[in-house]
């Protein structure tokens, strides 16, 4: 295991444990994706700042607000990296109200609102929202039964693409058809196609590279998931690193995580752990400069995959809570 990857993994576990000290009794799926907020930005988690940002959310958002749901933990992590978390939160809530004019209100939509505070200077946010609305409408036209509230995240991210809307839809649909030849989960394949559409290149070439990484992991003895994990693999595939090197990094990170509390027999399942290993590998190989045009598409793809990991964690947490409530009611 290379030293840089080991250090990244150690920081990831440290960040996860710091988040746990502030947000107790959260679902176990939420902590790792929240920790990755810090790792992907090269920052350390600070418990005092997290606690302060938790108070900011509670002060500004009503008790029934979607900002106070499962998303509160990763949201506090994002706010803690800001010099002005109160202003950032207020702006996110303003954007959320604007977004609700075009999308259904949901915890996923709060992620979109926060992303807009990070990806825009506020002046062109409305332009991105309008374009995102149109892209979402086109998504629903192509896949009316697959497109749901979580796809609003990707619709707005796709609004930052330099491609026109027709090119984006064509790219997504071509990638979707190609990936469906290997993976049966239509909803997750659609999400992976959104990630791939953010980058240049022919759909055949992009999907081939993604499948090569998947097959490389399998050939090395690993078992990568075939569902929501695919979005992270799609983001990893657009990075210019060598496939063999990335495969080795994923397996090394997975082996490291398997020895950590929360990933053992009673912890998160193996496929989720492997996805987290791929997420860390993407962090390791991500472009250093997010401002260079050549790096922008790759950066957006990684951001999209991180958001999908958050969406999946929120979904898993909600499902776990519902199951627990149902079991308690039955008792």
Spatial distance between the Cα atoms of 137 and 130, rounded to a whole number of angstroms? 11
More confident call, 177 vs 108: 177
pLDDT band, residue 291 (cuts 50/70/90): very low
More confident call, 21 vs 313: 21
pLDDT band, residue 318 (cuts 50/70/90): low
> In the chain, what is the straight-line distance between the N-terminal and C-terminal CA atoms, in Å?
48
Instruction: Answer for the pair 294, 60: CB distance below 8 angstroms, yes or no.
Output: no
Instruction: Answer for the pair 73, 19: CB distance below 8 angstroms, yes or no.
Output: yes
List the alpha helices (DSSP H) in the chain.
3-22, 30-40, 47-60, 72-80, 85-99, 107-119, 125-142, 151-158, 165-180, 186-197, 203-219, 230-237, 243-258, 270-285, 293-330
Average pLDDT, the chain: 89
Tens of pLDDT, residue by residue over 202-253, are 999 999 999 999 999 999 999 999 998 999 999 999 898 999 999 999 999 9
Spatial distance between the Cα atoms of 74 and 317, rounded to a whole number of angstroms? 13
Tens of pLDDT, residue by residue over 165-203, are 999 999 999 999 999 999 999 999 999 999 999 888 999
280 pLDDT higher than 50: yes
**pLDDT at residue 316, rounded to an integer:** 72
More confident call, 151 vs 308: 151
Spatial distance between the Cα atoms of 73 and 93, rounded to a whole number of angstroms? 16
Q: For residues 78-102, give the mean pLDDT.
A: 94
Spatial distance between the Cα atoms of 22 and 330, rounded to a whole number of angstroms? 32
- 179 φ, ψ to 5°? -70, -30
315 pLDDT higher than 80: no
Least confident of 77-81, 100-104, 254-258: 100-104
Tens of pLDDT, residue by residue over 120-153, are 876 789 999 999 999 999 999 999 988 888 888 8
323 pLDDT higher than 60: no
**pLDDT at residue 324, rounded to an integer:** 45
**pLDDT at residue 221, rounded to an integer:** 95
**pLDDT at residue 274, rounded to an integer:** 95
Report field, pTM of the whole predicted structure over 0.75: yes
Spatial distance between the Cα atoms of 140 and 149, rounded to a whole number of angstroms? 11
Instruction: Answer for the pair 68, 61: CB distance below 8 angstroms, yes or no.
Output: yes
Tens of pLDDT, residue by residue over 59-78, are 999 998 999 988 999 999 99
Tens of pLDDT, residue by residue over 256-278, are 999 999 997 778 999 999 999 99
292 pLDDT higher than 50: no
**pLDDT at residue 225, rounded to an integer:** 94
Buried b (16+ CB within 10 A) or exposed e, 199-212: beeebeebbebbbe
Q: For residues 280-297, give the mean pLDDT.
A: 69
């Amino acid at each position: 295991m290379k030293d840089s990857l080991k250090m990244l993994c150690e920081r990831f576990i440290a960040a996860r444990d710091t988040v746990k000290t502030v947000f107790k009794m959260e679902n176990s799926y939420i902590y790792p994706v929240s920790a990755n907020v810090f790792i992907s930005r090269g920052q350390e988690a600070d418990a005092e700042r997290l606690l302060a940002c938790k108070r900011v959310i509670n002060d500004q958002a009503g008790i029934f607000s979607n900002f106070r749901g499962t998303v509160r933990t990763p949201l506090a992590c994002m706010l803690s990296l800001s010099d002005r978390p109160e202003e950032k939160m207020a702006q996110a809530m303003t954007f959320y109200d604007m977004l609700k004019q075009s999308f259904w209100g949901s915890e996923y939509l709060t992620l979109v609102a926060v992303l807009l505070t990070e990806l825009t200077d506020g002046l062109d946010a409305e332009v991105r929202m309008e374009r995102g609305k149109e892209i979402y409408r086109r998504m629903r036209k192509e896949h009316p039964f697959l497109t749901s509230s979580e796809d609003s995240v990707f619709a707005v991210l796709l609004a930052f693409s330099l491609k026109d809307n027709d090119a984006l839809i064509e790219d997504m649909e071509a990638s979707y058809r190609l990936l469906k030849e290997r993976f049966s989960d239509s909803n997750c394949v659609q999400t992976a196609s959104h990630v791939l559409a953010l980058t240049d290149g022919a759909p055949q070439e992009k999907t081939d590279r993604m499948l090569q990484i998947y097959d490389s992991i399998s050939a090395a003895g690993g078992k990568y998931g075939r569902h929501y994990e695919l979005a992270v693999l799609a983001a990893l595939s657009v990075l210019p690193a060598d496939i063999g090197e990335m495969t080795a990094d994923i397996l090394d990170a997975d082996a490291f995580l398997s020895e950590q509390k929360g990933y053992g027999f009673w912890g998160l399942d193996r496929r989720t752990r492997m996805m987290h290993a791929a997420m860390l590998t993407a962090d390791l190989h991500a472009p250093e400069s997010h401002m260079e045009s050549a790096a922008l598409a790759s950066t957006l793809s990684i951001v999209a995959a991180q958001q999908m990991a958050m969406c999946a964690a929120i979904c898993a947490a909600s499902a776990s809570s519902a199951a627990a409530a149902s079991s308690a009611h039955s008792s």
